[in-house]
Amino acid sequence: LIAPGQQQGMAEAGDLLFLLDSSGSVSYYEFSRVKEFMWDLVQPFTFGPKDVQASIIHISTTPTMEFPFDRYQSSRSLQQAIRDTRQLMGDTNTGKALSYAKEKLFSGEAGARPDVPKVLVWVTDGFSTDDISEPMQLLKDMGVTVFIVSTGRGNYLELSAAASQPPEKHLHFVDVDDLTIITKELQDSILANRLHAVDITSSSFRLVWPKLLSQETGYYTLEYAPVDDLAGKRTNQVSGAHTSFMLSNLAPETAYEVALIPESNVHYFPPQTTRVTTLAGKMLLYAGTQLAEISPAQVFISESGPHSFRVSWAPTLDSVVSYQVLYGPLPGNSVKLLEVGGERNGTMVENLAANTTYLVTVTAVYRSGKERSLSAKACTQEAEGVGGGQPVPNSATRSISCW
């Protein structure tokens, strides 16, 4: 599922099912507010046969499907279908609706897909006329992630046992007039229960996924390949105790298809997939090995005078938001800071002391939040009429720095 704020095109397949309390215990006003909440919740996601699909099942005397997963293939058409949904009234037979949901979540006739993650969002006033524990456990045993939004008082122990673990991330109690408060949090939680990438650079990213297995119950198989070269697929096996893995030595500005396959000897878990695009960056050759270029890779000192010099760096990359230039005399612990836009490759440093050696550190701040620093020494010249000697030459001694 796409996270709010992510680029369109980083789509992830998944079947999203809303279990909607449509019984007579819910007032018309409450039902309309819940529909608004659902409308807001789906707004940022990308829908389509290779992306997210959604369906609604009504909780009533007899469970009823409002529309199958594959009917609405755009956010706009789905939102209109949510607006057009009408309350059925009747009894609150949630257990029956959960059994029906289990059938439809894995049914090709309902438009569900066999090998994509399943997410169930149950919006309830906290009341049910039949037992929910057994059918809900069957859903979770089949790999369905269950979120519960209770707009009534409800039984906390019962609902926390029904939701996926941990309940603090999957169970929300909120007044029907305050549902907007949890919309963003629930969107982020849905993503967090999916395979997704963090710490993206031009040559690597870290994959993160929810804990499904343990070291005793199985392992994960990770498969990844550039979208334009799926035949070049690479595979890693990861212990069932892990929930993250770093992929490195990747090409810059390249879209990768990634699949996480849980190999369990206890339950079946559907594979999870995502598409991740590395950041922009040129290529360097170092000791015969291709590496993604990083900034700054070089720092230069020029135009030195008695009270100023120019600091320049290379390369400049689109993935850098800003540069921070920190400078101070050697020896000493007095430093000053200049902020420079990420599109610039240099700045003048002024109001300096004459005939003084300075340590200059240039730090690139990347869009990912990562930073990289490189330092150089610089010398200001003697002031005119002092000493009468030749100007002190500049030096640009680069030092190795870590992320």
Asked if 308 contacts 325 with a C-beta cutoff of 8 angstroms, the reply is no
> Could you tell me whether strands 145-150 and 171-173 are parallel, antiparallel, or unpaired per DSSP bridges?
parallel
What DSSP character marks residue 325?
A: E
Q: Which two tokens stand for residue 260?
A: 């996480």
160-196 residue pLDDT tens: 889 988 788 888 888 888 888 888 878 777 765 678 7
HSE-up (13 A, CA, CB side) for residue 310: 8
Question: Which residues partner with 163 through β-bridges?
Answer: none
Q: What is the pLDDT of residue 99?
A: 95
- pLDDT of 353 > 70? The answer is yes
pLDDT of residue 5: 32
| Contacts (Cβ under 8 Å, ≥6 apart) of 294 | 202, 281, 317, 364, 372
Q: In this predicted structure, what is the pLDDT of residue 287?
A: 42
Q: Mean pLDDT in the chain?
A: 82
Residue 321, SS3? strand
Global pTM?
A: 0.52
Strand, helix or coil for residue 179: coil
For 135-162, the pLDDT digits (tens) are: 999 998 888 889 999 887 678 888 888 9
% of the chain at pLDDT higher than 90:
35
Question: Could you tell me what percent of the chain has a pLDDT over 70?
Answer: 87
In this prediction, residues 233-241 reach a mean pLDDT of: 92
Q: Mind listing the pLDDT tens digit for each residue in 1-54? A: 433 333 332 246 688 999 999 999 889 999 999 999 999 888 877 788 878 899
- At residue 390 the predicted structure's pLDDT band, cuts being 50, 70 and 90, is very low
pLDDT above 50: residue 286: no
Quickly state the pLDDT bin for 385 (edges 50, 70, 90).
Answer: low
pLDDT of residue 300 exceeding 90: no
pLDDT of residue 259: 92
Is residue 323 over pLDDT 60? yes
116 versus 229: the higher-pLDDT residue is 229
Question: To which residue do tokens 């305050």 refer?
Answer: 178
Q: Hey, is 190 helix, strand or coil?
A: helix
Please report the sign of the dihedral spanned by the C-alpha atoms of residue 43, residue 35, residue 87, residue 162: positive
71-128 pLDDT per residue, tens: 998 888 999 999 999 999 999 999 999 999 999 998 889 999 877 778 999 998 877 8
Say what the pLDDT of residue 235 is. 95
Q: How high is the pLDDT of residue 293?
A: 61
Cα–Cα distance measured from residue 366 to residue 282, given in angstroms and rounded to the nearest whole number: 15
- The domains found in the chain, sorted by start residue, are 14-192 (3.40.50.410), 197-277 (2.60.40.10), 294-379 (2.60.40.10)
**Dihedral Cα 311, 315, 320, 324, nearest 10 deg:** -10
Q: d(Cα 264, Cα 361) in Å, to the nearest integer?
A: 50
**The pLDDT value given to residue 193:** 62
Spatial contact of 146 and 105, defined as CB atoms under 8 Å apart: no
Q: For residue 191, what pLDDT is reported? A: 61
* Poorest-pLDDT segment among 44-48, 59-63, 383-387, 393-397: 393-397
What DSSP character marks residue 47? B
Where does residue 208 fall: left (phi above 0), alpha (psi -120 to 50 degrees), or beta otherwise? beta
- Average pLDDT for residues 44-70, to the nearest whole number? 90
Tens-place pLDDT, residues 189-208 = 776 567 878 778 888 888 88
According to DSSP, the residues that pair with 325 across neighbouring strands are 338, 362
